[in-house]
Chains A and B, each alone.
Chain A
Amino acid sequence: MASFTEDIFFATITELNAKLRAREFSAVELTHAFCDRLERIGPQYNALALSLREPAVRKAKEVDGDLKRERFRSPLQGIPFGAKDLLSVKGQITTWGAKPYAAQVFDYDATVLTKLEKAGAILAAKLSMVELAGGGGYRLAGASLFGPGLNPWDKSRWSGGSSSGSGSAVAAGLAPFALGSETSGSILTPSAYCGITGLRPTYGLVSRFGAMALSWTMDKVGPMCRSAEDCGLVLQAIAGSDANDYASAGKSFYYAPQFSRELSAIKLGFAPVDFEEWADPVTREGFRAAIEVLRSMGLQLVEVQIADLPYGAATSTVISAEGSSIFEPLVQSGQVDQLADKKQVAGLRAGLEIPAKDYLKAMRLRTLVRQEFRRVLTDVDAILAPCRYSVASKVADPLDRNTTGESAAPKLAGMRALIPGGNLAGLPALSLPCGFAGNLPIAIQLVSRPFTENLILSIGKEFQKRTDWHRKRPPVPSL
């Protein structure tokens, strides 16, 4: 039996795949090693929803057979991973992080999991999440069947939501990568808080078949990994047309950073007020250093502004109206009261009362939001902003508590609305770790035009060549 050093648990997909091909260890050994960590360390962060060791080892044996015969299928072959517990796995419990669904079992696999299986990746566990992906609007980190997601960098802090377990598991070296989902911030936030690299794909690029629906016009599934390169490799495997998802764009994705443009020809739009005034003072030094790295890469940084539109109100209205419509049977049955977060219960009930005129106005506004981002992204290739403007909040603090400590708001809005705005417009975004404030990670985000994931991934890859923030490891207990 191979013995594994800590380095293996924090290795990238490419590094692990090279070792598997060189037969330094087998896929079965690697799967057992990650399952051990998921089962023993995962609960310490409330990250584990369900271990899938048995089917994972069965799959790993198949992979070992392929590797022995030199049937190399993809860079993901033999790599264990975790999936947010809103993705259905045939015959296994899929809770959506919520008590009313604690015993729910589907008889089919989510398309993204089928695609990863074909690529040879090994599903080792379901990972915890905020109940119903927070669709009713939650107030507490503990809004989950599994308890609050705890941050591996500091267990008194939240891991972010709603893909909480995916963020914690990758950060703590419990899985080389994980799948998360985002309706408005649920991949970017835990990625930023946990110091990992997360990619929100363009709406429609990745099938959502078999994923819990919260907002059918905004839901996306995407990778949460150790590096931008890993995000590209996973996205390549999960992207593509799917007749089972009506919103599928019918496009594939090939990770090809080698064909990206010269960095010196790329313009990044940013608003200095984001980094100098809106960002929590403890994060500003890290953000300044990150901007310097981006400049040293040859990127042109250009000041931009986005129009003042009600991004938050439109996002909230669309998600609330669609989410409450989806979960109307839950509300009507009264089982909604079993949810852990009472604000979420009230939000789902109230969402049923949103007037049609408000939903339609919000949807019409989305067209304006799309036009506005198209305008900005004509002048620049991508938009740069802090991913979150402060570090992870304390687990016990209500999430509506302002943690920036600013007494007076800056006059300019900057890109504060980039997460709701980018999600309303269906744009891709990449969260990149860029430093620490105290012992907690901070991150920048890059947002670009629809279906230009290769652009932000190539910037991310070069950024990570020049920095080692994505290589930092939290103080995880050893087995």
Chain B
Amino acid sequence: MDVKLTRRGFAVALTAIPVSAQGPSDSTAPPDYDALSRAQIKQNSEQLAKASVSMSVEPSFVFKP
């Protein structure tokens, strides 16, 4: 898999995390990856929610191109 956050995406992900989840503002502290991952899922969810899908479009359980 090669899904990467762009700088803009990363910035959005960071701002989506509650301040309490970001930890102390110590630049040497390791990032809170659990919070970042949840923030990414939330960001994905929001983007998916904005997309309009008509009722007639249903997922193939067995995907075929």
Say whether B15 faces chain A, with CB atoms less than 8 Å apart. Answer: no
Q: Is the CB of A450 within 8 A of B3?
A: no
B51: contacting residue among A137, A350, A365, CB under 8 A: A365
Bound-state Cα–Cα, A419 to B3, Å: 9
A185 within 8 A of B: yes
Q: Name the B residues within 8 Å of A184 (CB-CB).
A: 1-3
Q: Which residues of A contact B41 (CB under 8 A)?
A: 317, 320, 350-351, 353-354, 358
Taking a contact as CB atoms closer than 8 A, the residue among B1, B10, B47 that contacts A214 in the complex is B1
Number of interface residues of A (CB under 8 A): 68
Given the interface contacts A186-B1, A313-B48, A400-B4, does A202 sit within 8 Å of B65 by beta carbon?
A: yes
The contact of B10 among A350, A368, A400, A420, by CB within 8 Å, is A400
Please determine whether B1 and A133 come into contact, CB atoms closer than 8 angstroms.
yes
Closest to B44 in A: A313
A367 on the B face (CB < 8 A): yes
Whether B49 lies near A361 (C-beta < 8 A) is yes
Given A203-B63, A346-B33, A409-B8, A137-B48 contact (CB < 8 Å) = no
User: What residue of chain B has the Cβ atom nearest to residue A320's Cβ?
Assistant: B41
Q: Name the residue in B9, B43, B57 with the highest tally of chain A Cβ atoms < 10 Å from its Cβ.
A: B57
Residues from chain A with a CB closer than 8 A to the CB of B18 are none
- Knowing A134-B1, A183-B1, A310-B48, the reply to whether A402 touches B30 (Cβ < 8 A) is no
CA distance A351 to B10 in the complex (A): 18
Q: In the assembly, what is the distance between CA of A260 and CA of B51, in Å?
A: 38
Interfacial chain A residues near B64, Cβ < 8 Å: 203-204, 247, 249, 426
Interface presence of B22 (CB below 8 A): no
Is residue B25 within 8 Å, beta carbon to beta carbon, of the partner chain? no
> Is A246 positioned at the interface, with any CB of B under 8 Å from its CB?
yes
Most chain B beta-carbon contacts within 10 A, residue among A349, A364, A409: A364
Name the B residues within 8 Å of A365 (CB-CB).
48, 51, 53
Docked pose: A361 CA to B47 CA in angstroms:
11
Contacts of B50 in A (CB 8 A): 310
Whether A217 touches B51, Cβ cut-off 8 Å, given contacts A162-B2, A186-B2, A350-B37, is no
Instruction: For residue B12, give the distance in angstroms from its CB to the closest CB of chain A.
Output: 11
Q: Nearest chain-A residue to B2 (Cβ)?
A: A185
Query: Given the complex, which residues of B lie within 8 Å of A159, measured CB to CB?
Result: none
> B: which residues have CB within 8 A of A?
1-10, 30-31, 33-34, 36-38, 40-41, 43-45, 47-51, 53, 57-60, 62-65
Contacts A/B (CB < 8 Å), 25 sampled = A137-B37, A185-B3, A188-B2, A215-B1, A247-B63, A309-B51, A315-B3, A317-B41, A317-B48, A346-B34, A349-B34, A350-B34, A354-B41, A358-B41, A358-B44, A358-B48, A363-B60, A364-B57, A367-B59, A367-B60, A370-B65, A400-B6, A400-B9, A402-B7, A425-B65
